[in-house]
Amino acid sequence: MEIQHADFIGSFTTNSQCPQDRKPEYAFIGRSNVGKSSLLNMLTGRKDLARVSKSPGKTQHLNFYLLNRVWYLVDLPGYGYAKISKTKRKEWSKMIDRYLSLRKSLCSAFILLDLSIDPQKIDLEFIERLGQMQVPFAIIYTKVDKIKTGQRKKHLQKYEDALLANWSSMPPYFITSSTSREGKKELLAFIEEVNQQYLNYIQS
């Protein structure tokens, strides 16, 4: 799948504000600074569709993008950003939990994990949370350009060990870099396939 159209639809804070047209939907979740907005720009081939910043915490709402006029990609605010108040953090976490657990057209969440660093406790906790909420998810490893090719296996193994301590099998995963565009084709092919399954399902 090539992305021909990418339209910003809006920034929302509650589920009732979100589009209600039941198009297949995917969400990018991950720690602040993991590369969610960059990946969205990379997938769409647009430099500044989503705001990327050196200072974390830029994305504060559920930002909806409509791709190829068929499916939504939602760029969620990152978790684990230290410099925000406790109250604000609670608000964010409530907003994200509500969105993830109640959004019926969410085909898959994508949890973004920075492959260039060790598995982080907060990420593993968030993955647990996805499991508890029974949200279908896949993993997107980001920033793979920052590690040497020979080190990849070692980094992947660390994540796999951490995940398999709590899960019986690995979810689907993708290895990506917004800089080198690695993983773009594979990720879009996965989305295309799930879109098809979803569309068949709601039409049946």
Which positions touch Mg ion (CB under 5 A)? 36-37, 59
Strand 25-30 and strand 62-67: the pairing is: unpaired
Q: Quote the CA–CA distance of 50 and 41 in Å, as a whole number.
A: 6
Q: Residue 151 Cβ, how far from ligand GTP at the closest point, in Å?
A: 15
Q: What angle do CA 181, 186, 191 make, to 5 degrees?
A: 115
Q: Which of 37, 44, 63, 108 binds ligand GTP (CB under 6 A)?
A: 37
Q: Quote the CA–CA distance of 51 and 168 in Å, as a whole number.
A: 36
Interface size with ligand GTP, residues (CB under 6 A): 24
Q: Site residues for ligand GTP, window 79-138 (CB under 6 A)?
A: none
Residue 35 contact, options ligand GTP, Mg ion, none, Cβ 5-8 Å cut-off depending on partner type: ligand GTP
- Going residue by residue from 46 to 85, which x/- string records binding to ligand GTP, judged by CB under 6 A? ------xxx-xxxx-----------------xx-------
Q: Could you give the angle at which helices 184-203 and 36-44 cross, rounded to 10 degrees?
A: 80
Pick between residue 24 and residue 78 the one whose CB is nearest to ligand GTP: 78
Q: Quote the CA–CA distance of 190 and 12 in Å, as a whole number.
A: 26
Residue 183 contact, options Mg ion, ligand GTP, none, Cβ 5-8 Å cut-off depending on partner type: none
